Amino acid sequence: MAPMSTPDTQSGLDPAIAARLKRSADGLVPAIAQQYDTGEVLMLGWMDDEALHRTLTTGRCTYWSRSRGEYWVKGDTSGHFQYVKSVALDCDADTVLVKVDQVGPACHTGTRTCFDADQLPLSN
């Protein structure tokens, strides 16, 4: 199943929201997951219209897996759930920010975030 790439597909996403989204060529928008109470950036996933619709209506983050070519709900296999607190579009409507209550590690490697393992050196 390929991601839905246009607002007029079978997605249940509100047409007014779908019309605002600026998607990549493959119909996806990056979705940043952030811990709602601390501001900690947890991970980056990808959403199409249907994944965003499911996220908005179920209260759980749903992403499109580019490697597996299917939808996945964070926590269904790992037990590390993301409970949605709020969802916002950035100023260009090409990125989604999902504030979540993360249960357990967010990263598939077992770390709290996907951004804590490989700090790059700064040259100031």
| Stretch 29-38: mean pLDDT | 98
In a domain, 96, yes or no: yes
Cα–Cα distances (Å) from 98 to 10, 32, 89, in that order, read 23, 6, 9
Entry pTM: 0.87
Q: How many domains does the chain have?
A: 1
User: Is pLDDT at 69 greater than 60 in this prediction?
Assistant: yes
In a domain, 3, yes or no: no
- pLDDT tens, residue by residue, 83-106: 999 999 999 999 999 999 999 999
In a domain, 107, yes or no: no
Least confident range from 7-11, 21-25, 45-49: namely 7-11
In a domain, 22, yes or no: yes
98 neighbors 34 (Cβ within 8 angstroms): yes
Amino acid at 33: A
In a domain, 123, yes or no: no
Which one is predicted more confidently, 88 or 117?
88
In a domain, 38, yes or no: yes
117 neighbors 111 (Cβ within 8 angstroms): yes
In a domain, 121, yes or no: no
- pLDDT tens, residue by residue, 1-17: 444 433 335 689 999 99
Q: Which two tokens stand for residue 73?
A: 């709900």
Domain holding 25: CATH number? Answer: 3.10.20.810
Range of the domain at 30: 15-102
In a domain, 119, yes or no: no
Mean pLDDT, all residues of the chain: 91
